[in-house]
């Protein structure tokens, strides 16, 4: 009998799923565009074994990866755990050996020094491999089609930093995977790296730099000329870990910075710009530069959005202050000032999980999509999800016209992160599809929906039926068949 904790992190809509499965030819309502040939990988944290500590939180679950293989209008589903070193030894033991999120002091003696990755944040195809990512560890390499795990990579010994971000960007001009690491010289260190991996999978360079303070550096931006790092004070220290408090705590007294590193530069070339006030911000929609001016688009909230990373001074969690809205930050590398040039609010939609047409990553762009929470829409299902947000719309923003539109998923459901797929390799920006997992929390089934990216209000052209409900997940990525190892 498994005995998961009777807490919001493991019950209701966050019931563990733990299902490894192969399903051939999923049922479809509507029509899947038959020319779509590729893969959609997404991941959910989903603890294989009951956690060592009953207050275990969502971000600590083992990565369970779902692969949707699109070909000839048909879709096959494969779901496998990322076979991390952690999961391998825990399966041998038949129980959890690793303890609290990002706290090795809580692990069993027998696993001391092992890589702690759960590979639960982003799966992404590059150089014919699937990289299953967790920001506290090196990348785990898997086969994109069989989902067999090869193991962690240090890029043939070239990567000296200890970590690899879960939010790399593929530069559409060079084909390089641009990535970074933080806590690169060990837990809680201020050391970071910036790296680029060639389309063949070779680590081209790794630049070390230091952040002004240690914090969760969950995402970043890449422009044609710069790598851009937002520092938000979700901080930690050894005292927290020794006391077995949650690894991270929000410290509103620290400034928000935007660090700018020339992509080919060194740490001495780097500048840190200070924001006008301290805010919460996590996922980056896109970044680009016009000469020395850098634009950085990001959902920004007035206060902490992670209730499980509490305020360090025990200020109560404020769910209204936690609501993010897409903003555009601007800094200027030619300015003598170390302050932001401007901060502009781009929408009144409460939004997170921003996405773009990735052919425009690093470049000036027109179209953005995101998950939206409309608190005025009814909800008939149980419980909330990880951070208390219930994302019930997919929103689209046209940066050229300011026009905004959306699709609402109905009162029984919640939506997971959307993904844009271009209609063809040379289609205009935004011309294509939005796909997203939609969880019906009343019937307990999930659908993968397909929408016209520029006509969301038309609703799904297809609903791919999954005969169970997926658990809330994190990120997903599309890979065209040309990027896969074999067909």
Which secondary-structure segment (H or E) carries 395? strand 393-398
Question: Closest separation between CB of residue 51 and ligand V55, Å?
Answer: 14
Residue from 57, 79, 117, 121 touching ligand V55 (CB under 6 A): that is: 121
79 or 163: whose CB is closer to ligand V55?
Answer: 163
> Is residue 59 involved in binding ligand V55 (CB under 6 A)?
yes
The size of the interface with ligand V55 (CB under 6 A), counted in residues, is 8
Mark 133-152 with x for binding to ligand V55 (rule: CB under 6 A) and - for no binding.
Answer: --x-----------------
Which secondary-structure segment (H or E) carries 93? helix 85-93
Query: From the CB of residue 403, how many other CB atoms can be counted at a distance below 10 Å?
Result: 9
Question: Closest separation between CB of residue 307 and ligand V55, Å?
Answer: 13
- Residue with the CB atom nearest ligand V55 in the bound state: 59
Residue from 13, 32, 45, 246 touching ligand V55 (CB under 6 A): that is: 45
Q: Are 310 and 250 in contact (CB under 8 A)?
A: yes
439 or 452: whose CB is closer to ligand V55?
Answer: 439
Q: How buried is residue 377: exposed, middle or buried, by Cβ count under 10 Å (0-12/13-18/19+)?
A: middle
280 or 406: whose CB is closer to ligand V55?
Answer: 280
Mark 200-229 with x for binding to ligand V55 (rule: CB under 6 A) and - for no binding.
Answer: ------------------x-----------
Distance CA 125, CA 479 (A): 6
45 or 422: whose CB is closer to ligand V55?
Answer: 45
45 or 259: whose CB is closer to ligand V55?
Answer: 45
Tell me how far the alpha carbon of residue 155 is from its chain's centroid. 22
CA distances in angstroms from 104 to 121, 186, 244, listed in the order given: 19, 12, 10
Rounded to 5°, angle at Cα 310 from 307 and 311:
125
117 or 392: whose CB is closer to ligand V55?
Answer: 117
15 or 404: whose CB is closer to ligand V55?
Answer: 15
Tell me how far the alpha carbon of residue 291 is from its chain's centroid. 29
Q: How buried is residue 156: exposed, middle or buried, by Cβ count under 10 Å (0-12/13-18/19+)?
A: exposed
Query: Length of the chain in residues, anyone?
Result: 487
| Phi, then psi, of 127 in degrees rounded to 5 | 50, 40
Question: Closest separation between CB of residue 236 and ligand V55, Å?
Answer: 12
- Of 314, 188, 304, the closest CA to residue 256 belongs to 304
> In the chain, how long is the greatest CA-to-CA distance?
64
Which secondary-structure segment (H or E) carries 242? helix 238-242
Q: Are 178 and 225 in contact (CB under 8 A)?
A: no
59 or 369: whose CB is closer to ligand V55?
Answer: 59
351 or 429: whose CB is closer to ligand V55?
Answer: 351
> Is residue 300 involved in binding ligand V55 (CB under 6 A)?
no
Residue from 67, 421, 474, 479 touching ligand V55 (CB under 6 A): that is: 474
193 or 289: whose CB is closer to ligand V55?
Answer: 193
Residue from 8, 79, 120, 137 touching ligand V55 (CB under 6 A): that is: 120
Contacts (CB under 6 A) with ligand V55, residues 399-458: none
Which residues, including other chains, have CB under 8 Å from residue 175's CB and lie 6 or more apart? Answer: 198, 199
Question: Closest separation between CB of residue 224 and ligand V55, Å?
Answer: 26
Question: Closest separation between CB of residue 121 and ligand V55, Å?
Answer: 4
Question: Closest separation between CB of residue 209 and ligand V55, Å?
Answer: 21
Distance CA 415, CA 390 (A): 8
Contacts (CB under 6 A) with ligand V55, residues 242-271: none
> Is residue 282 involved in binding ligand V55 (CB under 6 A)?
yes
Question: Residues in the site for ligand V55, rule: CB under 6 A?
Answer: 45, 59, 120-121, 135, 218, 282, 474
């Amino acid at each position: 009998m498994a005995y998961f904790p009777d807490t919001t992190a493991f019950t209701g809509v966050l019931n563990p799923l733990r299902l490894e499965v192969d399903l051939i030819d999923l049922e479809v309502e509507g029509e899947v565009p038959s020319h779509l040939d590729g893969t959609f990988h997404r991941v959910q944290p989903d603890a294989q074994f009951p956690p060592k500590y009953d207050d275990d939180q969502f971000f600590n679950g083992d990565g369970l990866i779902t692969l949707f293989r699109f070909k000839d209008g048909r879709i096959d589903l494969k779901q496998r755990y990322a076979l991390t070193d952690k999961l391998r030894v825990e399966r041998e033991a038949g129980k959890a050996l690793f303890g609290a999120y990002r706290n090795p002091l809580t692990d069993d003696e027998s696993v001391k020094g092992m890589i702690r990755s759960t590979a639960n944040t982003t799966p992404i195809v590059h150089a014919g491999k699937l990289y299953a990512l967790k920001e506290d560890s090196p990348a785990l390499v898997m086969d994109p089609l069989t989902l067999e795990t090869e193991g962690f990579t240090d890029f043939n010994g070239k990567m000296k930093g200890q970590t690899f971000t879960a939010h790399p960007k593929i530069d559409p001009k060079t084909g390089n995977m641009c990535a970074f690491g933080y806590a690169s010289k060990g837990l809680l260190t201020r050391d970071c790296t910036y790296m680029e991996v060639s389309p063949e999978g070779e680590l081209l360079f790794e630049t070390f730099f230091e952040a002004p303070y240690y914090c969760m550096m969950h995402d970043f931006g890449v422009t044609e000329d710069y790598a851009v790092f937002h520092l938000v004070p979700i901080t930690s220290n050894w005292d927290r870990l020794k006391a077995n408090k949650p690894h991270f705590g929000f410290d509103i007294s620290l400034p928000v910075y935007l660090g700018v590193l020339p992509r080919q530069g060194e740490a001495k070339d780097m500048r840190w710009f200070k924001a006008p006030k301290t805010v919460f911000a996590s996922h980056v929609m896109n970044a680009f530069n016009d000469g020395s001016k850098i634009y950085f688009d990001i959902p920004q909230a007035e206060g902490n959005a992670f209730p499980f990373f509490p305020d360090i001074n025990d200020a109560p969690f404020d769910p209204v202050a936690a609501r993010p809205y897409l903003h555009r930050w601007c800094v200027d590398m030619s300015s003598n000032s170390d302050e932001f040039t401007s901060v502009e609010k781009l929408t009144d939609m409460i939004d997170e999980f921003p996405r773009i047409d990735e052919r425009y990553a690093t470049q000036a762009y027109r179209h953005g999509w995101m998950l939206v929470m409309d608190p005025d829409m009814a909800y008939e299902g149980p419980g909330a999800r990880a951070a208390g947000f219930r994302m019930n719309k997919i929103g689209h923003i046209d940066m050229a016209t300011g026009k905004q539109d959306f699709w609402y998923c109905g009162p029984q459901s919640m939506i997971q992160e959307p993904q844009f797929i271009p209609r063809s390799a040379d289609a205009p920006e935004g011309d294509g599809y939005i796909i997203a997992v939609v969880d019906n929390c009343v019937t307990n089934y999930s659908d993968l929906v397909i929408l016209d990216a520029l006509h969301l209000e038309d609703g799904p052209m297809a609903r791919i039926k999954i005969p169970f409900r997926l658990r809330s997940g994190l990120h997903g990525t599309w890979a065209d068949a040309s990027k896969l190892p074999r067909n």
